[in-house]
Structure 1
Amino acid sequence: MATNQNLVDLGNLFSPSNIRQLAAPILLLLILSMMVLPLPAFVLDVSFTFNIALSMMVMLVAMYTRKPLDFSVFPIVLLVTTLLRLSLNVASTRVVLLHGHTGPDAAGKVIEAFGHFLVGGNTAVGIVVFIILTVINFVVITKGAGRIAEVGARFTLDAMPGKQMAIDADLNAGLIDDKTAKRRRAEVSQEADFYGAMDGASKFVRGDAVAGILILVINIVGGLIVGVMQHNMDFGRAANLYVLLAIGDGLVAQLPALIISVAAGMVVSRVGDDGDVGMQFVNQLFNNPTVMILTAAILAVMGMIPGMPNLVFLSLAGLLGWGAWYMSKKAAEPEETEAALPAAAQVAQAVENLEASWADVTPVDVLGLEVGYRLIPMVDKGQDGELLKRIRGLRKKFAQDIGFLGSPVHIRDNLELRPNAYRITLKGVEIGSGEAYPGQFMAINPGRVSGTLPGNQTKDPAFGLPAVWVENSRREQAHVLGYTVVDASTVVATHLNHVIMSHAADLLGRQETQALLDHIAKDSPKLVDDLVPKVLPLHVLQRVLQYLLEEGINIRDMRSIVETLAEHAPRTQDPVELASRVRMGLGRAIIQQLFPGSAEIDVIALDPSLERVLSQAMANSGGDGGVIEPGLADSLLRETAAAAQRQEDLGMPAVLLVPNNLRWLLARFLRRAVPTLKVIAHSEVPESRNIRVAGVVGG
């Protein structure tokens, strides 16, 4: 049994997946062993050939890579290929010094070919060629690629926070899901890691070039010493033999190093991901017939100068001219085909193109922001618009404070507006407008400034406070005088936030209500399934939530809301009654929102006689909302507004405490006349809070 188990383990060890995992460690062990173990000439030939083939593969992969992360293993490849070349240099140096006296093929046929065929067996030519290749690799390609990698790493790291914020904004806007956001965050992190690794890995190639020069010098000096002193060779023969072997060894290592450096430059200098390097090169360099014609003309003029190689210049000029003519003809073919159509066919095609379709029906944006042309940079993603970032943050804050994810703000330019104007629309209807001046600051007068400022007088569009647009140079002066100073993007963002908060009920549509239920069902599926649609229709739930939002009550505590509705919905389907029951269930949170802490609450109360009159009006109407006599209504509005103003002057919220049966009537009646007034019922006040009547209406 144990033998069978061992055979099974051995079979698993040599499975294809395990062999691929062992390939890299085995390759590294073989590379390191080359430094300490003597290798025969044939093995050196195979190793040098493999090194050249590997460098060619790396360069071709770099050319056909669409974006750097597609070749994310490249920094490790740089390390491995550098280590392979240095190991081969050590192994070949050992063979050259031990057996170089036997002849030019002592270190294998590859080194002999590079030492004789490529440089013609001339030591001076070989040294010059080696130095030129080294300078090209070390000074030009490697230095440039290293600089690009360094700058790319710095810019990528600097751009990481902005990219992460953009991903979060797209996620909050519902444009992507959690899985896509997680993948994009990983890509951003991997991109930063890649450029950081490339910045360091480029030093491998620079070090390899320096090592190649030192190894060449060591081989020449060491070969001369060994040949003259140990093998009794004359200096000229030793110099000719060992220098050619050293040059062949250096060239056979320097050529793959040059190819790898070119591959590194291709990877880090890529811009865009719309194709591989070859496709981008052809499409962008040879895609303009005008450029090719001008180049052909210049070459033709140079080819007609006496003494120049006329045939070469004129031939190449003719080839470029033919290419430009062919491209122009190909680009004009669609136009000629269209022009060749009969007139009747063109008319029919025009009529067909004008035919209406459902694509012409565009839905109205739920929430929109239209800007004049001078405000476009504030909302342009390409120009890193500050207002765009603030709007994304507003939507997230709205979801956190109110309790549901509203529709995204659709931004577009509108040339019909004044250059600095903007307007906010809700379902196509304007609900707010104003003007903003990029580069200037709005100094808002909170009511206690100690001086005036020169500038464009205006009003804060969100709250109607007096303000003035001032230049940047007067910003500090405005602070000293007591003004609240904000920039243009903050003005628009604050106005938009105020409008969104004021129209939260209108933003809660049927789709948002269903999405809210689906979100709750993730944690409490039974609670939701027992209520909607078994007991309460979705449209009734939506109306109840809208009633709450209209009176400034957030719906974050949906669990309590659903539980209250589940308790009372079997007995009534009236949204007003259900909203009142929900308010009672949320009473502690409502009072806490108006009066933070545990102190007593200061409220405005109704005179008992006024309460009896209003209750009688409610009773006579049969519960349909009640009708207040005009004179009484006018007096009620006037006295309530005065009492609310007194409360606000004392720094306290304006809250009117009324009986349960009057709360809905008075809240709806007083909402437009006194928008800052909050009307609460006796049943909404927790027993733990003490009530103090600060004012009486109708007394």
Structure 2
Amino acid sequence: MEIKSDTTQGGWSSFLMNRSDILVASSVIMILLVMIMPIPAVLLDFFLAMNISLSIIVLLVAFYTLKPLQFAVFPGMLLILTLFRLSLNVASTRLILSEGYAGNLIEAFGSFVVQGNFVIGIIIFAVLIIINFVVITKGASRIAEVSARFTLDAMPGKQMAIDADLSAGLISDDEAKARREEIARESDFYGAMDGASKFVRGDVIAGLLITFINIIGGLIVGSVQQGMPIGDAAAQYTLLTVGDGLVSQIPALLISTGSGIIVTRAASEGSLSFEITTQLFGNPKVISLAAVFILIMGLIPGMPFIPFMIFAGGLFYHANKKSRRDELEIIEEQEKIDQDGQPEEKVEQYLLMDTLELEIGYSLIPLVDPDQGGDLLDRMSSLRKQMAIELGMLVPPIRIRDNVQLKSNHYTIKMRGILQGEGELLPEYHLVLLPENLQADIKGVKTKDPAYGMDAVWVSNSNRAEAEKYGLSIIKAGAVITTHMIEVIKRNADKLLDRQMVKTLVDNLKESAPAVVEELVPNKMSYGELQKILKRLLKEGIPIRDMNTILETVADYHSKTQNPDVLTEYVRAALAETITRTYRDGENSVTTAVLESSLEGHLISQAQQGNLHPGTLGFTPETVEKLYMSATRVCDKMSATGHKPIILTSPVLRPALYDFLVSVIPDVVVLSYNDLTIDTQIHKFGAIELSQEHESQHEPALT
């Protein structure tokens, strides 16, 4: 009883919507039957009214559609509506020629619309054909054809733009997939519209031919078969034929207009009515000037003054109201300005802080403005992509803003409001890096490279050739800022890695390796614990791009220890190939310094007893100072000979030794034997040691 009640109480609409596939398929079959089988005049009136109603709906939907893809079904529906209209032409032709009557709707169009005069009807019908075929359909077809061609040509560029945004971390994989699908649908839509527009043109031609055939056929049937005078036959059958043509052409005109609106919506962003009112009537000065010219035209002798006066008065009224409305908006905006002359803002906005910020002086603004040839924004996007490849982390968006308090050529780099680097640029010059032992007289402004502190000189374009003949590095001003920013990011990579970024990296890995992610995070390890391991790796310059290996290793050893330092050493051993490739030379060898054997043995015993403190390594202040001096002397010698200051030690000592030395030697690298692959050749550069005299004096403190 309940099911029957739902069906009878308005469930028919829901039933039809749920069975839309059956409804559409049945409608197509019905259209074909109308062409073949004779139908009564009453049913033809119903179908003709349906045709006009559907055409009006299509026109209004096209009018309120914001984007063409919101009405993507239009090309396929256009074919069905065209077939439906042609089937009604066949049915009406059959009734007109067989019975001399084709229903009230056609008769009304033949008698009321053209006032019973078939000559007027033929002229009106011809005018509608010209409007539809020559103006609307031809223009819509051309727009659809050009749009289809341009859309196909632009597809590779759009795909590359999506890939670039995805690589730079600006969009997620789901957003990239959705944008690719939208591009494919857009291409398919315009391609389909290019073909569907041919249906509209064919429908117009078919309507013209059908009308011509009906007129000739009506004359033959009336005068030959029924013996009517030629004038009466022409009046009766031609009038009905013209009425039939008008009934068909009006819906065709509506559909053609809807088609034209759809294909011309590519550059619009809002509804058509809103854009017309805002763009056409949005400027009060333009409307007032137009009203003046309209009023002048009305004053010309012989012109009807009243219509022009009405239009001019209406435009003056609209311009006045629009001008007052704009003034009120300006006043409201000014009322929102506080006493300091700054717009009121929410206090909560001052609690937010940009992670990375680049402030520039006013002379450096052209580097950011693309209209002035600036490419700094593109360089920053490339920087984020480069950091994702080198470090395996997503660099937060970099806020670039001008600061009038800075010197005109000055810039600063801040991280969470703290100054991390600064420098000065000459925008129209190039920076040339000068090696230490170079004997060359290059004209320019001497300076220091802000990223590395090397001697450099700013050269103009005219002196650039002089620097090129020495084979020196020549850097554009925008590239200087980018290089400096890269060094700041590398130096502070561990500080940029927050829990949210760790979650993003884990979620990204989950798509390709869900097993290890589901096993480890967050069941066994929290994001904060994993963050400590990743921060430790980044702090020592180890990229975290191979997240699969990192999580696999942590999952293997997490049951044995939860100490992040110990887990980090296991991860470093798993990443040995990456670490070795970073520090080895062309001969597959690594040049390192080592700890003197007795010193290393003492430290290992201290570590086993739990007395190895990273700050002092368990030594007295005098011994710590002695060890600092010895390590600094060895590392300076390595740097002077072109080697990176690398110290090789036991895995047990490595974390504590790095924490001990990094405060004195910021660029020191401390490796363990597990960090290098077994086929790597190790060249010993020197040893860090304490004198026997010094060791004997402090032996009690060591034990």
Q: TM-score category by the smaller chain?
A: 0.7 to 0.9
Distance 1:604 1:462 in 2: 26
Distance 2:204 2:446 in 1: 69
1:53 alignment counterpart: 53
Distance 1:45 1:207 in 2: 24
1:428 aligns with 2:413: no
2:288 alignment counterpart: 293
Contact 1:520 1:528 in 2 (8 A): no
- Which residue identity does 2:35 align to in structure 1? M
1:496 aligns with 2:466: no
Deviates more, 1:499-508 or 1:176-185: 176-185
Query: Which of 183, 197, 207 pairs up with 1:202?
Result: 197
- Which residue identity does 1:678 align to in structure 2? V
1:108 alignment counterpart: 103
1:682 alignment counterpart: 673
1:691 aligns with 2:681: yes
Question: How far has the Cα of 1:213 moved from its partner?
Answer: 2.6
1:38 alignment counterpart: 38
1:306 alignment counterpart: 301
Distance 1:431 1:694 in 2: 35
Contact 2:612 2:656 in 1 (8 A): no
- Which residue identity does 2:537 align to in structure 1? L
Question: How far has the Cα of 1:579 moved from its partner?
Answer: 4.8
Question: How far has the Cα of 1:551 moved from its partner?
Answer: 1.6
Distance 1:455 1:245 in 2: 92
RMSD: 5.2
1:603 aligns with 2:591: yes
1:640 alignment counterpart: 635
Matches within 5 A, 1:160-175: 160=155
Matches within 5 A, 1:391-402: 391-392=380-381, 394-399=383-388, 401-402=390-391
**CA 1:372–1:257: 2 relative to 1, 3 Å:** farther
- Which residue identity does 1:79 align to in structure 2? L
Distance 2:231 2:447 in 1: 95
1:8 alignment counterpart: none
Contact 1:548 1:554 in 2 (8 A): yes
Matches within 5 A, 1:116-195: 116-157=111-152, 160=155, 182-195=177-190
Question: How far has the Cα of 1:168 moved from its partner?
Answer: 6.4
Contact 2:360 2:410 in 1 (8 A): yes
Matches within 5 A, 1:67-78: 67-78=67-78
1:412 alignment counterpart: 401
Contact 1:645 1:654 in 2 (8 A): no
Question: What do the CA deviations read for 1:144-172 (whole angstroms, capped 9, x no partner)?
Answer: 33333344444545555666666667777
Question: How far has the Cα of 1:80 moved from its partner?
Answer: 1.7
Question: How far has the Cα of 1:94 moved from its partner?
Answer: 3.7
**CA 1:269–1:638: 2 relative to 1, 3 Å:** same
Q: Tell me, what secondary structure is at the counterpart of 2:288? A: helix
1:29 alignment counterpart: 29
Question: How far has the Cα of 1:93 moved from its partner?
Answer: 3.2
Q: Tell me, what secondary structure is at the counterpart of 1:499? A: helix
Q: Tell me, what secondary structure is at the counterpart of 1:62? A: helix
2:212 alignment counterpart: 217
- Which residue identity does 1:395 align to in structure 2? R
Paired residues in the alignment total: 661
Question: What do the CA deviations read for 1:98-124 (whole angstroms, capped 9, x no partner)?
Answer: 33xx65xx3333333333432334444
Distance 2:108 2:507 in 1: 74
- Which residue identity does 1:293 align to in structure 2? S
Distance 1:384 1:22 in 2: 60
Deviates more, 1:314-323 or 1:220-229: 220-229
Question: What do the CA deviations read for 1:437-460 (whole angstroms, capped 9, x no partner)?
Answer: 8899888899999x9999988877
Question: How far has the Cα of 1:83 moved from its partner?
Answer: 1.6
Question: How far has the Cα of 1:132 moved from its partner?
Answer: 1.8
Q: Tell me, what secondary structure is at the counterpart of 1:679? A: strand
Question: How far has the Cα of 1:22 moved from its partner?
Answer: 1.3
- Which residue identity does 1:197 align to in structure 2? A
1:343 alignment counterpart: none
2:580 alignment counterpart: 591
Question: How far has the Cα of 1:305 moved from its partner?
Answer: 2.9
Deviates more, 1:87-96 or 1:626-635: 626-635
Question: What do the CA deviations read for 1:354-386 (whole angstroms, capped 9, x no partner)?
Answer: 999742523322222334567667767999986
Q: Which runs of 5 or more structure 2 residues have no equivalent in the other structure?
A: 1-10, 690-703
Distance 1:609 1:330 in 2: 86
Deviates more, 1:362-371 or 1:632-641: 632-641
Contact 1:456 1:470 in 2 (8 A): no
**CA 1:284–1:643: 2 relative to 1, 3 Å:** closer
1:66 alignment counterpart: 66
Contact 2:444 2:457 in 1 (8 A): no
Q: TM-score, normalization: structure 2?
A: 0.75
Question: How far has the Cα of 1:553 moved from its partner?
Answer: 1.4
Question: How far has the Cα of 1:308 moved from its partner?
Answer: 1.6
Question: What do the CA deviations read for 1:591-650 (whole angstroms, capped 9, x no partner)?
Answer: 3543499x85343344847957996999999643355576775564344333355465xx
**CA 1:192–1:601: 2 relative to 1, 3 Å:** same
Question: How far has the Cα of 1:663 moved from its partner?
Answer: 4.2
Q: Tell me, what secondary structure is at the counterpart of 2:351? A: coil
Question: What do the CA deviations read for 1:480-503 (whole angstroms, capped 9, x no partner)?
Answer: 996778877666545433432232
- Which residue identity does 1:562 align to in structure 2? V
1:559 alignment counterpart: 551
Distance 1:456 1:159 in 2: 46
Q: Which runs of 5 or more structure 1 residues have no equivalent in the other structure?
A: 1-10, 340-345
Query: Which of 236, 240, 260 pairs up with 1:265?
Result: 260
Matches within 5 A, 1:344-359: 358-359=347-348
Distance 2:463 2:576 in 1: 48
Question: How far has the Cα of 1:56 moved from its partner?
Answer: 1.2
2:700 alignment counterpart: none
Contact 1:603 1:657 in 2 (8 A): no
Q: Tell me, what secondary structure is at the counterpart of 2:113? A: coil
- Which residue identity does 1:90 align to in structure 2? V
Question: How far has the Cα of 1:55 moved from its partner?
Answer: 0.9
1:658 aligns with 2:649: yes
Question: How far has the Cα of 1:73 moved from its partner?
Answer: 1.6
Contact 1:644 1:677 in 2 (8 A): no
Distance 2:366 2:209 in 1: 57
1:5 alignment counterpart: none
Distance 2:240 2:363 in 1: 71
- Which residue identity does 1:30 align to in structure 2? M
2:84 alignment counterpart: 84
Identical-residue share of aligned pairs (%): 41
Question: How far has the Cα of 1:174 moved from its partner?
Answer: 7.5
Deviates more, 1:612-621 or 1:404-413: 612-621
1:342 alignment counterpart: none
**CA 1:378–1:260: 2 relative to 1, 3 Å:** farther
1:550 alignment counterpart: 539
Contact 1:568 1:578 in 2 (8 A): no
Matches within 5 A, 1:274-285: 275-285=270-280
Contact 2:654 2:672 in 1 (8 A): yes
Question: How far has the Cα of 1:685 moved from its partner?
Answer: 4.0
